[in-house]
Amino acid sequence: VLDAYQMRDLTDAIRPTTLLRPEKLRDKLGLDITCASEAFQHTGSFKFRAAYNVAMNVPNDHLYTASSGNFGQALAYAAKLTGKKCTVVMPDRSAKVKIEAVRSYGADVDLIDTAKIGRSQRIEQLAADMPDAYFASPYDDEFVIAGNSSLADELAGEDFDVVVVPVGGGGLISGIVKGIKRNNQTTVVFGAEPLLGNDAARSLREGRLISNENEPTTIADGARTISLGRLNWPIIKENVKEIIEVSEQKIAAAVKMLYDLANLKCEPTSGLSLGAVLEDTPKFADKKICVVVTGGNVDAEVYKQLIS
Amino acid sequence: VLDAYQMRDLTDAIRPTTLLRPEKLRDKLGLDITCASEAFQHTGSFKFRAAYNVAMNVPNDHLYTASSGNFGQALAYAAKLTGKKCTVVMPDRSAKVKIEAVRSYGADVDLIDTAKIGRSQRIEQLAADMPDAYFASPYDDEFVIAGNSSLADELAGEDFDVVVVPVGGGGLISGIVKGIKRNNQTTVVFGAEPLLGNDAARSLREGRLISNENEPTTIADGARTISLGRLNWPIIKENVKEIIEVSEQKIAAAVKMLYDLANLKCEPTSGLSLGAVLEDTPKFADKKICVVVTGGNVDAEVYKQLIS
């Protein structure tokens, strides 16, 4: 569904990504690096692209998802903008500030005790209770992938040799490769995944979809996924050159580098893409590189540790 | 000297300011606020506009200044870009990272023991030693003011009712009012100055140029100036509606708000403009407001305190 999103409506609503070329970072690494920052996107992450595309395109008046992170906020705001009802399932131990953020956009927060009921179980209940509502997966949804592909349209004019994209469920990287193809670009796409949750890297190496045994404990909380989505896997398998596994140390180093050398506040998951470059710098020599900075929402306590 | 800067050359070299409209911040304050962030400008602050304009326009092959902060870095980089020599006088107790930043752009750092020799004394020595070099004041210089005015050209298309500008030596606010006039805008300009170093506010109230007795101890280190510049004062006197005095508490609150609600890393001096809005929110109701975020260069240790 290359044309699942309605270009005109999306480009009116989403904010263009912020392209930054920090000379201190470029000089330090000796690389031609551009950051595409989604930290200033609506609700502070790229997820708004996906969420708004869902809200615009499905006929249902009620949307729901399970997300304690950026997709919950993004879907809540997209629903508000499009006059729809929204329900977000979140663990009851989620940070208050995240619960409040979702509520501030007018969505209902459905708090669950994950010791008693799993997220997918609760989603099944809701599906039975609200047959007319639309369940939006944060990554495994055609409208989500198509919404995310709008970022590739924006990058197309820059003629990057390489784009490095954080990978959790695979919704962003799937969108990026679809968008690159739609724009007839030859940009090579690298994934960047936490070593602690390297299901996608293992899947790509072995040619079959592999899951993590448990939710990864990585600091990159946007990549604490069990596996790639069903829709994402075939797109990634066919189009992604390599998924680089990034250590926790390099994720943290990347977040600090973006603080020190680019004046950019970013969330840990955003550190994956620059972290991948740090893992294998020679691979990127003499290339025009884009690292996607997925978002900026990070608790002050976590961030303080990272910039120390 | 409304046309002191060569528009074409400047607009090729400077980066456009980054305009951000963070909905969380706007909703929280109930105000139509836009941040004009210079944190992603070359060398991380608006000072590059001024420094590059100096380097482009003076015939001298050697530039020097006294600055332990953003202007030193900016002049060093501007000199590098224009193939000129640059000397920056800095106290020998300056943070190593700041000394290294200036050196990384190829400038000579002239370290002084301020217990033994004052900055202005050292500048006089250098003027005698290097008669062919050009001394660039960080704020009291026509090319500096004109370079800073380029920011107002960028804001002109946005039709702001109000723009709030941090005030130290007055170089930025002078440039902004000059640029606004050149663009035939009616935007009202407010200054934002630390209460702990309120010489400009007192000067404007009393109609004569008043100095602080000592270097102010404010956390807004870009505004630790003794007085407005000679060139800046008459421009401010004639064109600035009001200079709002901002408490240290409100400066810190603004930096934290920009972190929490705008995903924006900014230096304490940048907190002055939003801090001024916090000091007197009703004044800004129903206005289209621009707060100028002057830069993003802040040590991690300082920043960690501010976002706590």
pLDDT the model gives residue B2 = 42
pLDDT the model gives residue A8 = 56
- Kindly state the DSSP code that residue B107 receives in the 8-state scheme: P
CA–CA separation, A139 vs A224, rounded Å?
13
CA–CA separation, B199 vs B226, rounded Å?
8
**pLDDT score of A146 more than 60:** yes
pLDDT the model gives residue A4 = 57
Pairing of the two strands B62-66 and B134-135: parallel
Coil, strand or helix: which one is A197? helix
CB within 8 Å: B40 and A22: yes
Pairing of the two strands B18-20 and B32-37: antiparallel
Instruction: For chain A, list residues whose CB is within 8 angstroms of any CB belonging to chain B.
Output: 18, 20, 22-24, 27, 39-40, 42-44, 77, 101, 104, 256, 259-260, 262-265, 295-297, 300, 303-304, 307-308
Tokens of B157: 């298309």
**pLDDT score of A271 more than 50:** yes
The H or E element containing residue A162 is strand A162-166
Name the CA dihedral angle for B40, B153, B162, B243, rounded to a multiple of 10 degrees.
Answer: 80
Look up residue A263 and give its amino acid.
N
pLDDT the model gives residue B12 = 75
Nearest by CB: A259 against B23, B42, B300: B300
Q: What is the pLDDT of residues A73-130, one digit of tens each?
A: 999 999 999 999 999 999 998 888 889 999 999 999 999 998 999 889 999 999 999 9
CA–CA separation, A294 vs A202, rounded Å?
23
Nearest by CB: A307 against B23, B104, B304: B304
Instruction: Looking at the complex, report in whole angstroms how far the Cα of residue B17 sits from the nearest Cα belonging to chain A.
Output: 11
* C-alpha distance from residue A266 to each of A107, A260, B191, B269 (Å): 25, 12, 30, 21
Whether the CA torsion A297, A290, A23, B44 is positive or negative: it is negative
Tokens of B9: 């050359």
Residue identified by tokens 């790509």 is A204
**pLDDT score of A7 more than 60:** no
Nearest by CB: A263 against B260, B265, B304: B265
CA–CA separation, A256 vs A302, rounded Å?
12
Q: What strand order describes the sheet that includes A162-166?
A: A18-20, A32-37, A288-293, A162-166, A188-194, A242-246
Instruction: Tell me the average pLDDT of chain A.
Output: 95
Tokens of B133: 């070099």
CA–CA separation, A7 vs B70, rounded Å?
42
pLDDT lower than 70: segments of chain B: 1-9, 11
The H or E element containing residue B121 is helix B119-129
Percent pLDDT > 70 in chain A is 97
Tokens of A91: 């663990």
CB within 8 Å: A23 and B42: yes
Complex prediction ipTM? 0.94
Confirm if A241 and A187 have CB atoms less than 8 A apart: no
pLDDT the model gives residue A180 = 97
CB within 8 Å: A20 and B40: yes
Nearest CA in chain B to A27: B104
Q: A with B: how many residue pairs have Cβ under 8 Å apart?
A: 61
Nearest by CB: A263 against B20, B260, B297: B297
Confidence of residue A10 (pLDDT cuts 50, 70, 90): confident
CA–CA separation, B49 vs B66, rounded Å?
17
CB within 8 Å: B40 and A27: no
Beta-bridge partners for A24: none
CA–CA separation, B43 vs A24, rounded Å?
8
- Kindly state the DSSP code that residue A45 receives in the 8-state scheme: B
**Secondary structure percentages of chain A, helix, strand, coil, to 5:** 50, 15, 35
Instruction: Looking at the complex, report in whole angstroms how far the Cα of residue A27 sits from the nearest Cα belonging to chain B.
Output: 9
Q: What is the pLDDT of residues B105-133, one digit of tens each?
A: 999 999 999 899 988 999 999 999 999 99
Q: What is the pLDDT of residues B256-275, one digit of tens each?
A: 999 999 999 999 999 999 99
Q: What is the pLDDT of residues A29-78, one digit of tens each?
A: 999 999 999 999 999 999 999 999 999 999 999 999 999 889 999 999 99
Instruction: Looking at the complex, report in whole angstroms how far the Cα of residue B12 sits from the nearest Cα belonging to chain A.
Output: 15
pLDDT the model gives residue A2 = 42
Q: What is the pLDDT of residues B290-301, one digit of tens each?
A: 999 999 999 999
Instruction: Looking at the complex, report in whole angstroms how far the Cα of residue A190 sits from the nearest Cα belonging to chain B.
Output: 26
CB within 8 Å: B23 and A307: no
A263 contacts on B by Cβ (under 8 Å)? 39-40, 44, 265, 295-297
The pTM is what? Answer: 0.95
B95 contacts on A by Cβ (under 8 Å)? none
CA–CA separation, B217 vs B80, rounded Å?
33
CB within 8 Å: A259 and B18: no
